[in-house]
Structure 1
Amino acid sequence: MSWNPGSEKIFGYKADEVIGKNISILYRPEDIPGLPNYVKILKEKGVYDAEVDLVKKSKGLVPISFSLSLLRDEHENPIGIAGINKDNTQRRKDEETLREQKNILHYQAYHDALTGLPNRVFFFDHLEQGIRRHKAGLGVLFIDLDKFKHINDSLGHEVGDRVLKLVAKRLKGIIRREDTLARLSGDEFTIIMEELTHSQDASVLAEKILKALTKPMYVDDHILYISGSIGISLYPQDASNAHSLLKYADTAMYKAKEEGRNTFQFYSSEMTAFALERMTMKTSLRQAIDNNEFIIDYQPQINTCNDSLIGLEALVRWKHPTMGFLPPHKFISLAEETGMIIEIDQWVMETAMKQIGKWYRAGLNPGVLAVNLSIKQLERNNFLQILTESINRYDFDPKWLELEITEGQMIKKPKEVIEKLDKINDLGIGISIDDFGTGYSSLSLLKRLPINRLKIDRSFIRNIPNDEEDVAIVKAIIALAKSLKLDLIAEGVETPEQKDFLVDNGCMNIQGYYCSYPISANEIESMLIKNKSLALSK
């Protein structure tokens, strides 16, 4: 037996420590019984190759690949064995590293990076497997967070991401062990309910999800409230393939949003027509701009101290060629999705300014024109230029105009927004915060904004004076406006009780059905002429 320096380096034994010893000192006890098989194979084939973990002098293991060859004399009689050993430690490490990298890549390919949930690829793979396994039935729940974009726009994507993680955690705590929760994209989540024999079980889960989502979320110094809309499709009742099941659950989810959000809907065949109508609406919206199908109604704003008209809010309506008059909530979200809101906003502003200027030049007094301003319009580089050109074109006094911007729109890029609003204010144009109380603005931001009016959102007006929480919120907003020396108006006032509560607590300006529904320019003109006649007769 010989023992070369390479073996000494691998095993730690010097030649005089192993020569004459049984080869078994290099083997683990559990491997020793297999040694006779090496000899048997070696005698039969003349060579033997293997990979095995051998024992070093230090008692540590070393991965070895070895090749044994049987040595024979001139008469073919065995006279010895020659062996070559190779230390595979580095190769084993490289293989393990490669295996880990493959596992990581595989995980990344099938999981969402933000929440760690299964992704769209995993979802479809698992759904297809589920369809093959569960002939009795399964359900797909499509969950979309309501107005999640508002959080992203108001507080930034970092806060939005943390909300998504919290949502994922809540959903994981609700589903059964056999269910699969996935994040498809953005604020869209899906659940596969396997072994679903009763459709009401899907209803129970949907109700639990809605309840969990409405609980407050605490992110940094913010207390956030969200809700969700859920669509449900069933196998095999609704479809027999994965793509159709997801599409139908998505369609049902949009129907849930149409029903007012924070609810769930099961898919029905009629909803396919609804989805088709939605796609048709997008196409029709483009044609509506080209075909001048939009009109403007005006809703009066009233000072309750003397019941005088102080202004008009311009509200766009769509005179659809087949569907009749459509209110804003039927198409504004689509306009925002497609980017057409910029063209619509621009048309409303110019048309209304032209009309208001015409009334003033006729000796009538329509008050201040209130126009909604979308953040996309405000972000345009040439918006101020377009606004100035419109003022000049229609000989429009800037003090006749007030631009309404929603609370949440200001928080995404407050510095840029404040700079533009300052320039608008320098022109003499009024600025009000629309839907005040529904966003996440801070007092420090309000103090920096060049605004002159707060508009109390209709959601707080609806249940006063009977709802204690709404009463407290409205009183707080009124007090805030007074402390900041801001004008105030409440929208959505519909009853004498609401009006009396507001007046008693110091909000004198109101807007809503109690005063007047939105009416056409012709009706407004008749009202203005009547007001002028009454004023002259006094």
Structure 2
Amino acid sequence: LSKIENVESLKNLVNKIRKKMEDNFIIRNKRIKITPSIGIAIYPDDGSEPIGLVGKAGIAMSKSREVILHNPIRFDDSLAREIQEHFWIKTDLIQAISKGELFLNYQPIYNTITNKLIGVEALLRWNHSERGVIQPGKFIPIAEKIGIIHDIGRWVLFNACKQNKEWQDTGFEPIFVSVNVSVLQLEHKDFYDEVLAILCRTGLEPKYLQLEITETFFTQNYKSIVMTVKKLSSLGIGIAIDDFGTGYSSLGQLCEININNIKIDRMFIDGVDKNINKSKIVKAVISLAESLNINLTAEGVETLGQLNFLKENRCTLAQGFLFSKPVEKEDIEKLFSKI
């Protein structure tokens, strides 16, 4: 496009084009609707060479596909940094396992009535040799995109089970270890066999392993995933729904699989002792869990007020910074009581 007065007028024009393209098309008597993604690069602000400008517009277009409503995106420095970060994460993550850069932290889970440690959640971290510790929120989505989430997930599961068995062999009272599992892992045809093999290799009894799955699995390959989850549950492995209340599950679907634990999302726990609506929601979830004979774990507990509310309303399991942030295995060992 030429003779554009300013960026604002360009955006207005692009939005008109987008809306026009969103109109239904009739092709061979069939009504077709498309959702265009539009990327913008401006000469000379974003470059002077045509090839470079087209490339940057293409990058912006790819970003447009990821945003809600596919709004037009203009290439800028922040997008360039994001693409650069995505590239080095993708490149280095492939070697992270072999280089020994991945490690696990553990966040304790307590019984709110007895104040006793009853489990830990294993949380993946990446200690990059040059860039330091990288949080999973940055690299897990990329691992899923490039197809190595199965390798990483297998590593996490094996090392979490191995560590829990080592604690038991040392003489610590047995607890469960909870491991997050992605939808892509659950969809994999060999996932059940891999879990079984890891339990055999590590010697950990199934009852001391809990797998956390998010409600998003209810929307993808539902039937095959439910079959896998049921088989895992039949072994004695605990099944937890993570971040409950933020996803897509229905009560009917919850009854279809053998869930042992509902983990209520931290957004409901934050201010639960002060916000009437939140307190009503949490009480309702507690009542639901009790009626289904399912454990309920409150995530993100940070204040005594929140903990007291949970105790008063019979929520018996909790984790959060009030008890401990995610820590290394040596710090968990200080929390154990010897048999």
Provide TM-score, normalisation by structure 2.
0.84
1:392–1:456 distance in 2 versus 1, CA, 3 Å = same
**Is contact 1:137-1:236 (8 Å) kept?**
no
Q: Which residue of 1 aligns with 2:4?
A: 134
Q: Which has the higher strand share?
A: 1
Deviation at 1:279, TM superposition (A): 0.9
After TM superposition, the structure 1 = structure 2 runs for residues 45-64 of structure 1, keeping only pairs within 5 Å, are none
The one-letter code matched in structure 1 to 2:4 is H
Counterpart of 1:485 (choices 282, 285, 293) is: 293
Cα 1:346–1:252 change in 2 (3 A) is: closer
Among 121, 129, 132, the residue aligned to 1:313: 121
> 1:330 and 1:369 mapped to 2: Cα distance?
24
- Looking at structure 1, the residues matched to 126 and 108 of structure 2 have their Cα atoms a distance apart, in angstroms, of 20
Contact 2:105 / 2:124 at 8 angstroms: preserved in 1? yes
Structure with larger RCO (C-alpha < 8 A, sep 6+): 2
Looking at structure 2, the residues matched to 270 and 420 of structure 1 have their Cα atoms a distance apart, in angstroms, of: 41
Q: Where does residue 32 of structure 1 map in the other structure?
A: none
Deviations 1:473-524 (A, max 9, x none): 2222112111211110011111222222222222121111111010011221
Decide which of 195, 204, 221 is 1:396's aligned counterpart. 204
For the 8 Å contact 1:297–1:521, the answer to whether it is kept is yes
The 1:314/1:140 distance shift into structure 2, 3 A limit, reads: farther
User: How far, CA to CA, are the matches of 2:184 and 2:15 in structure 1?
Assistant: 44
Residue among 306, 316, 320 paired with 1:512: 320
Which residue of structure 2 aligns with residue 149 of structure 1? none
Distance 1:134 1:478 in 2: 59
Shift of 1:243: 2.5
Pick closer, same or farther for the CA change 1:243–1:350 going to 2, 3 Å: same
Distance in 1 between the 2:277 and 2:212 partners?
26
Distance, in Å, in 2 between the alignment partners of 1:271 and 1:336 is 21
CA 1:177 to 1:276, structure 2 compared with 1: closer, same or farther past 3 Å?
closer
The aligned amino acid for 1:432 is A
Change (3 A) 1:237 1:484: same
**CA drift at 1:472:** 3.0
Distance 1:361 1:396 in 2: 10
Structure 1 residues 298 and 136: CA distance shift in structure 2, 3 A: closer
Q: CA deviation at 1:313?
A: 0.5
Q: Tell me the alpha carbon deviations over residues 110-165 of structure 1, each in whole angstroms, 9 at most, x when there is no partner.
A: xxxxxxxxxxxxxxxxxxxxx21325445676xxxxxxxxxxxxxxxxxxxxxxxx
Change (3 A) 1:289 1:139: farther
What RMSD over aligned residues (CA atoms) do the two structures have, in Å? 3.2
Q: Aligned AA for 2:54?
A: H
Number of residue pairs matched by the alignment:
323
Which string of whole-angstrom CA distances, capped at 9 and with x for unpartnered residues, describes residues 25-57 of structure 1? xxxxxxxxxxxxxxxxxxxxxxxxxxxxxxxxx
Q: 1:244 to 1:133 in 2, by over 3 A?
A: farther
Displacement after TM superposition at 1:190 (Å): 3.6
- Aligned counterpart for 1:498 among listed residues 286, 289, 306: 306
1:382 and 2:252 equivalent?
no
1:405 to 213, 221, 238: 213
Give the distance between the partners of 2:187 and 2:229, measured in 1 at CA. Answer: 11
AA partner of residue 291 (structure 2): S
Q: 1:422 to 1:140 in 2, by over 3 A?
A: farther
- Structure 1, unpaired ranges of 5+: 1-130, 142-174, 193-232, 258-262
Shift of 1:363: 1.2
State whether structure 2 residue 292 is matched by structure 1 residue 422. no
Residue in 2 that maps onto 1:278: 86
Q: Give percent identity, aligned residues only.
A: 36
Q: Which moved more, 1:469-478 or 1:434-443?
A: 469-478
| Residue 443 of structure 1, CA deviation | 1.1
Question: Structure 1 pair 265/525, CA: closer, same or farther in 2 (3 Å)?
Answer: farther
> In the alignment, what sits opposite 2:27?
none
Q: In the TM superposition, what is the alpha-carbon distance from 1:245 to its structure 2 partner?
A: 5.8
Kindly provide the CA deviation profile for residues 327-369 of structure 1, in whole angstroms up to 9, marking residues without a partner as x. 2112111111112111111001101111110111111025111
Q: Which amino acid aligns with 1:409?
A: F
Could you tell me how far 1:465 is from its partner in structure 2? 3.1
CA distance in 2 between partners of 1:276 and 1:504 (Å): 50
Match in the other structure for 1:169 = none
- Unpaired runs of 5+ residues, structure 2, are 23-32
Q: CA deviation at 1:187?
A: 7.3
> Contact 1:404 / 1:433 at 8 angstroms: preserved in 2?
yes
- One-letter amino acid of the counterpart of residue 246, structure 1: A
Match of 1:180 among 6, 17, 33: 17
Return the alpha-carbon distance in structure 1 between the equivalents of residues 315 and 210 of structure 2.
19
Taking a change above 3 Å as real, the CA distance of residues 440 and 140 of structure 1, as seen in their structure-2 partners, is farther
Counterpart of 2:25 in structure 1 is none
Structure of greater Rg: 1
Matches of 1:305 and 1:499, distance apart in 2: 10
